[in-house]
Structure formats: C-alpha cells, structure tokens
Amino acid sequence: MESKNAFVLEDKNPKAPVHLLIVPKEPIKNLLEASPALLGEMLNLAKLAAAKYGVDESGFRVVINTNEEGGQHIYHLHMHVLGGRKMKWPPG
C-alpha cells in the first residue's frame, strides 16, 4: 500500500499482532523536518492500513518517535501503527 510520497510495510520485529510502518519515500530525518502535507498523507495511509489489517474498529495506536529521548533509533522519519491487542498506558 502506498501514496504519492509514502508507503506501508510490516515491521520485521513486531511489538503487536499488527505492527506497520508508514515511511516517506524521500529521506526526512524526523517529525521536525516533515511538512504538514506529508504528515497528513502519512496519517491517511495509517487510517487506510488500519482498515486493511482489520484493526480500525477495535482500535490502534499511531506513534512517531523523535530524537534520542523520544526513542528514535533510525533517523529516517517513520510512523508506527500498532493494533490487534489492548494497548497499555502509559506507553513508556
């Protein structure tokens, strides 16, 4: 699944039964460098992917880690979509 500027893939090390990544096609370091238009496009892909993977009605979480203290380990912007189980709060 993809849009003009981003694509969806399954996480290779899932933290939930459904763990997807929404990744921009162009290299962007993190959320702070992303345009509002790209972020909207990525959120729309998250919504469509949640429906495709059957977690839209039961619920899902969208996460963007930003910089070291925010838990970012890969410095190419990406959005996590997690679902298929009850999420805990606080997350970490």
Residues catalogued as catalytic:
78
- What is the rounded radius of gyration, in angstroms, for the C-alpha atoms of the chain? 13
CA distance 55 to 46: 11
Q: Which helix or strand (DSSP H or E) is residue 21 part of?
A: strand 18-24
Q: Are 66 and 32 in contact (CB under 8 A)?
A: yes
Alpha carbon 64 to its chain's center: 6
